[in-house]
Copies of this chain bind each other. A is one copy, B any other.
Amino acid sequence: MGSFRGRILRVATFGESHGPGLGVVVEGVPAGLELSQPQIQRELDKRRPGTSPQVSPRREPDQVEILSGLAEGKTLGTPIAMLVRNQDARSKDYGELAEVFRPGHADYTYWCKYGTPPQPGGGRASGRETLARVAAGAVARVMLEPLGIRFAAYTVGVGQVRAKRLDLEFAMTHPLRLADPDLAEDMVNGIDKVRKAGDSIGGVVELVVDNVPPGLGEPVFDKLDALLGGAMFSIGGVKGVEIGAGFASASRRGSDNNDQMGPDGFLSNHAGGILGGISSGQQIVMRLAVKPTPSISREQSSQDLQGRSAIISIKGRHDPCLCPRVAPVAEAMAALVIADAWLMQQALERSRQ
């Protein structure tokens, strides 16, 4: 399925990498919100490749068209549909792979599930699918902006190297969204090295959300961290998610890990902004483990559709490190989750009065 099913905000995405286009329908956005194509386009441009040697040179204009839900620059309260046409689809590069399952890709599992052979460019499993999420997330961000709720995701790890400090402005303008200016050169070099070796490299993306009001989320199954965690795992290539102290808290004692309160509020934020599934008003902090890009030109052993052994070397244009691709999608997914939780809380708060 292609749906994010919040309680109030609903998102249906569609599109394959080599079909006519990709898009999304967003329901549940209140009427009267100022919204325009450039606000969506700006977010889409952030995920656009082609801005550095370390990202794939594929150039797609990815112009978004808003098909519904707007009149005279304001939302109507009706579904907002957005469409991006596919243009630069060099199927030749992809075509030759169609008979062999690419290791680390969804080719084999799609074959098991749908009985369909690998689609050119990955079909629905292509990273281009995230375009529709970013467009939907842009709508959520516009909605949350007046509340001061802001989202930022950036690269804090490449291979073995981990960022030691964060310069948010640096990160947000760096083509790889690298967080630490001191280590940026090291990280770029690390990526270059694997790229030249026909290989790829994993990394870590950190996501922060500022100014989330306390009280968002539900206490049991729909904990805010459960919704955010699930949303992060829905991004291709994410193999681990932690919130606040995360895996480090497994090694800690309660007396160290609990966030005590002083007269002015919490004295620490090991919880990462969520307690018992509900936002505490502190900054939400998550980190995502991103696997190395599965498309590599080095030879790998695999099988073809008939189950025969085959050697595969994946040509074409691929990012050696997925982190700068994952970061904008993480922001978008977080925006959808927070926007829906915020809308729900409005209903419950207002009905209490």
Q: Is A269 an interface residue (CB 8 A)?
A: no
Q: For the complex, is A240 an interface residue (Cβ under 8 Å from B)?
A: yes
Binary per-residue interface labels of chain A (120-139) against chain B in the complex, 1 for a CB within 8 Å, 0 otherwise: 00011100010000000000
A62 at interface, CB cutoff 8 A: no
Q: Is A291 an interface residue (CB 8 A)?
A: yes
**Residue among B5, B79, B226, B302 making CB contact with A2, cutoff 8 Å:** B79
Is the CB of A225 closer than 8 A to any CB of chain B? yes
Stretch from A47-55, A164-172, A175-183, A229-237 at the B interface: A229-237
- Is the contact region of chain A dominated by helix, strand, or loop, or is it mixed? mixed
A228-261 at interface with B (beta carbon < 8 Å): 228-234, 236, 239-261
Asked whether A10 is an interface residue with its Cβ less than 8 Å from the other chain, the reply is yes
Cβ distance A275 to chain B, nearest Cβ, rounded Å? 5
A67 touches B110 (CB 8 A): no
Point out the residues of chain B lying under 8 angstroms from A16, CB to CB: 68-69, 71, 76, 78
**How many of these chains are in the complex?**
4
Q: B104, B252, B271: which contacts A275 (Cβ < 8 A)?
A: B104
Residues of B within 8 A of A227 (CB): 230
Distance of A157 from chain B, by nearest CB (Å): 6
A12 touches B10 (CB 8 A): yes
Report the minimum CB–CB distance from A152 to chain B (whole Å). 19
Known A10-B1, A27-B2, A255-B298; contact A278-B113, beta-carbon cutoff 8 A: yes
Cβ-based interface call for A290 (8 A): yes
A124-B254 contact given A23-B67, A106-B275, A114-B77, CB 8 Å threshold: no
> Are the CB atoms of B67 and A32 closer together than 8 Å?
no
Taking a contact as CB atoms under 8 Å apart, the answer to whether A234 and B244 are in contact is: no
In the complex, besides A16-B69, A239-B245, 17 extra interface pairs with C-beta distance below 8 angstroms are: A3-B27, A3-B222, A31-B114, A77-B114, A83-B83, A105-B276, A113-B216, A113-B217, A202-B249, A228-B233, A229-B229, A229-B233, A245-B291, A254-B292, A257-B291, A346-B350, A346-B351
16 A-B residue pairings within 8 Å (CB atoms): A2-B25, A2-B221, A5-B221, A15-B68, A16-B69, A23-B67, A31-B116, A103-B258, A105-B275, A105-B276, A113-B348, A201-B253, A223-B234, A239-B272, A262-B301, A263-B309
